[in-house]
Amino acid sequence: MATLLVHHPSFAEHRTAPGHPERPDRYRVVAAALAQPPFDTLARERAELAHLATTRYVHSNRYVDELEAARPAEGYVYLDGGDTMMEPSTWEVVLRGVGGTLQAIDRVVAGQVQNAFVACRPPGHHAETERAMGFCLFNNIAIGARHAQKEHGITRVAIVDFDVHHGNGTQEVFYSDRDVLYASTHQRPLFPGTGAVEETGVGNVFNAPLRAGDAGAELREAFEQRILPALDAFSPELILVSAGFDAHERDPLGSLMMTAHDFGWVTRALLDAAEKHCDGRLVAVLEGGYDLRGLADSVVAHVGELVKG
């Protein structure tokens, strides 16, 4: 079966303030990289708009209503101290990020494709139940996990996050939920300050923090000693991946030293786990990655492994 790429031209909208690292060019370089001949076999679908009700699977009614009411007719509305912002196109963009994630999950669970990559922006894993932060407004991956449970009858969902920043929002949503495993490698200390080994939820949270300067060897150790054994014990019915590429050695927002090859290794390890536990069902959703060359190279490595199956 094919790998699905979910994309949409609107992901090149959501214009951020000058100099902001989370910028439209991120989507453009990903789209250009995946337009090359090695990816001709990708099934491609444009991201659908999510129904607003699906955001309430994770976010409170108050938060969703206030965010909708904050949509500006012009200029910017700044959230969370200024790093996270909305402009007139943002609302459609973030609803397509949610919609594209749910769409990918629907296709994979139905067996129409083997796995999927959702090339959306802005990222989502910092968005908490009632708080936008870290460039994130809606938590795409968390909403996707709840969607899989509510609409497809899946019980055990595993979320693996290898962004350089800890997915505090995803952890917060599922911290007391034994049916969702959250596992993360990330640099610590670094924004947002969460992600200590001691943060274990109800035995469903597995943080494997890395230190500034750590590279592929430390990433492999974290996966082989902590995350992959946790996946084996949990035996998920679906694996979701918060695929952030800002742990790349070129990235300006972190100090880890990963290469595109390292992201390929992680992807292969997760595909092997998916094959072992859930018939290969895996959906990856783009999170961070702010050096354009590093992002493009890493996405090529990541999606290249997905295509191999």
- Tens of pLDDT, residue by residue over 202-241, are 999 999 999 999 999 999 999 999 999 999 999 999 999 9
Catalytic residue status for 126: yes
pLDDT of residue 24: 98
Q: Could you tell me if 216 and 256 are in contact, meaning their C-beta atoms sit under 8 angstroms apart? A: no
- Tens of pLDDT, residue by residue over 156-197, are 999 999 999 999 999 999 999 999 999 999 999 999 999 999
Q: Cite the beta strand spans of the chain per DSSP E.
A: 3-7, 43-46, 77-79, 84-86, 115-118, 157-161, 180-187, 205-210, 238-243, 282-286
- Tens of pLDDT, residue by residue over 106-137, are 999 999 999 999 999 999 999 999 999 999 99
**Closest Cα to residue 281, out of 155, 148, 109?**
109
Task: Classify residue 166 as left (phi > 0), alpha (psi -120 to 50) or beta.
Answer: beta
- Tens of pLDDT, residue by residue over 250-276, are 999 999 999 999 999 999 999 999 999
State mean pLDDT over 1-22: 97
The pair of structure tokens assigned to 200 is: 């274990």
The pair of structure tokens assigned to 12 is: 């090149």
- Tens of pLDDT, residue by residue over 22-75, are 999 999 999 999 999 999 999 999 999 999 999 999 999 999 999 999 999 999
pLDDT of residue 290: 98
CA atoms within a 13 Å half-sphere pointing along the CA-CB vector of 171? 24
Of 59, 125, 126, 165, catalytic: 126
pLDDT of residue 135: 98
pTM for the whole thing? 0.98
